[in-house]
């Protein structure tokens, strides 16, 4: 009997390639069309508790793909080559906002970031279909994401921009008074826009000046408490009372001029009009969240507490939010350079 021999210490065994595990039953239907396969995928994801917004995105992305192909096709015909041709079409031929007649500025080619989002969605689906046995191969296995240049992080607003924006609002107008209150809320708490516009009067803890954000309304599905200034709470109360005088009782604090729920999209559109009026380059709800983060750190708040307030799962995300411009950097250096305390102690002896 041949004996085993060790030639080299700590020699690693060659890794064995794991076999593909298919958990589906033998009677899986492999003749599904893309739309049928999507329905199977969505049913599984609903069982996992995915939100309706995410489910809607899956339907939307498959619709984009089928529009490119020209018709619904069998899942078996979805190939790596077809997906690459789809990606090239999105990058080089697709007209942006082609179905939005209100958009005047349109260009050819989606951004690499947008294309990668659609590819990631397809990757998730193809991996599912392959693992469940609906497809004999994973066409996304060899498709790589589009290479992108580093994109500049979202910049917050400067102090001057915030003042100009707030002074622009006419508080005799209900809509502008409401929008100004919403801006104050976003600047004061760093809430996401959807968390802010869906705020109800019951979420305000008046004794502690805290906002209770339920898990079903947060991005990371975690309940959290967010501090809010007394002055902002008073504005929220006044806005809610004024709305009830016109439209009767409503849990929502933010409503439109008809007493209906105010939406994030409506606020974005109104900000876009203000942006053009004031001649600003950019103005969107997420900038208030970035402004809050920057000002919190500049006011000597700590990044770990900021991470909790902003509801970031990873502190790296919080770091990206803190974008300092040259004026802020110079100001911070002026206030905290250690050289000053030493220079104050040095007696200046100038020659006569």
Q: What is the pLDDT of residues 229-264, one digit of tens each?
A: 999 999 999 999 999 998 888 889 999 989 999 999
- Residues 209-225, mean pLDDT to the nearest whole number: 87
Extended strands (E) in the chain: 204-205, 210-213, 224-227
Instruction: Give the DSSP letter string of 9-76.
Output: TTPPPPPPPPPPP--S-TT-----BHHHHHHHHHHHHHHTT--HHHHHHHHHHHHHHHHHHSS--BGG
Rounded to 5 degrees, what are φ and ψ at 33?
A: -85, 170
| 24 or 260, which is more confident | 260
Structure tokens at 115: 């294309």
Evaluate if pTM is beyond 0.75.
no
DSSP state of 182: H
The SS3 of residue 152 is: coil
> Of 184, 213, 199, which is closest to residue 311 (Cα–Cα)?
213
Q: What is the tens place of the pLDDT at every residue in 291-335?
A: 999 888 888 788 888 888 888 888 888 777 776 666 666 766 677
Widest Cα–Cα separation across the chain: 102
For residue 238, what are the CA distances in angstroms to 57, 140, 183, 232?
Answer: 37, 54, 15, 10
Structural domains in the chain plus CATH codes: 34-131 (1.10.150), 159-334 (1.10.443.10)
Structure tokens at 301: 């708040």
C-beta atoms surrounding 114 within 10 Å:
15
Confidence of residue 64 (pLDDT cuts 50, 70, 90): very high
pLDDT at residue number 18: 45
The pairing of beta strand 210-213 with beta strand 204-205: antiparallel
8 Å CB contact between 224 and 202: no
- Residues 160-170, mean pLDDT to the nearest whole number: 95
Q: What is the tens place of the pLDDT at every residue in 275-291?
A: 999 999 999 999 999 99
- Residues 197-216, mean pLDDT to the nearest whole number: 93
Q: CA-CA distance, 60 to 316, in Å (whole number)?
A: 30
């Amino acid at each position: 009997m041949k004996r085993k021999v060790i030639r080299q210490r700590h020699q690693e065994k060659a890794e064995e390639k794991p076999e593909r595990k298919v958990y589906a039953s033998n009677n899986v239907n492999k003749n599904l069309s893309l739309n049928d396969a999507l329905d199977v995928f969505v049913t599984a994801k609903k069982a996992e508790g995915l939100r309706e917004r995410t489910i809607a995105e899956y339907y939307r992305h498959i619709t984009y793909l089928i529009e490119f192909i020209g018709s619904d096709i069998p899942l078996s015909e979805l190939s790596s080559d077809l997906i690459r041709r789809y990606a090239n079409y999105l990058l080089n031929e697709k007209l942006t906002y082609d179905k939005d007649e209100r958009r005047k500025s349109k260009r050819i080619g989606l951004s690499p970031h947008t294309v990668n989002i659609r590819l990631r969605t397809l990757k998730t689906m193809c991996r599912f279909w392959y693992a469940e046995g609906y497809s004999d191969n994973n066409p996304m296995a060899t498709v790589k994401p589009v290479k992108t240049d580093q994109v500049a992080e979202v910049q917050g607003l400067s102090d001057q921009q915030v003042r100009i924006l707030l002074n622009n609002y006419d508080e005799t107008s209900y809509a502008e008074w409401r929008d100004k209150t919403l801006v104050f809320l976003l600047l004061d708490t760093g809430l996401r826009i959807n968390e802010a516009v869906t705020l109800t009067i019951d979420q305000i803890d008046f004794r502690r000046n805290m906002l209770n954000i339920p898990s079903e309304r947060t991005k990371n599905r975690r309940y959290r408490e967010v501090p809010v200034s007394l002055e902002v709470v008073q504005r929220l109360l006044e806005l809610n009372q004024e709305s009830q005088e016109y439209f009767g009782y409503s849990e929502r604090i933010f409503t439109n001029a008809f007493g209906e729920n105010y939406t994030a999209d409506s606020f974005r559109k109104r900000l876009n009009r203000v942006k053009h009026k004031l001649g600003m380059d950019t103005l969107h709800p997420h900038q208030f969240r970035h402004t809050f983060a920057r000002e919190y750190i500049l006011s000597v708040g700590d990044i770990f507490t900021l991470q909790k307030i902003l509801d970031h799962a990873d502190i790296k995300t919080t770091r990206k939010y803190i974008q300092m411009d040259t004026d802020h950097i110079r100001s911070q250096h002026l206030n905290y350079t250690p050289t000053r305390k030493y220079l104050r102690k040095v007696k200046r002896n100038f020659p006569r």
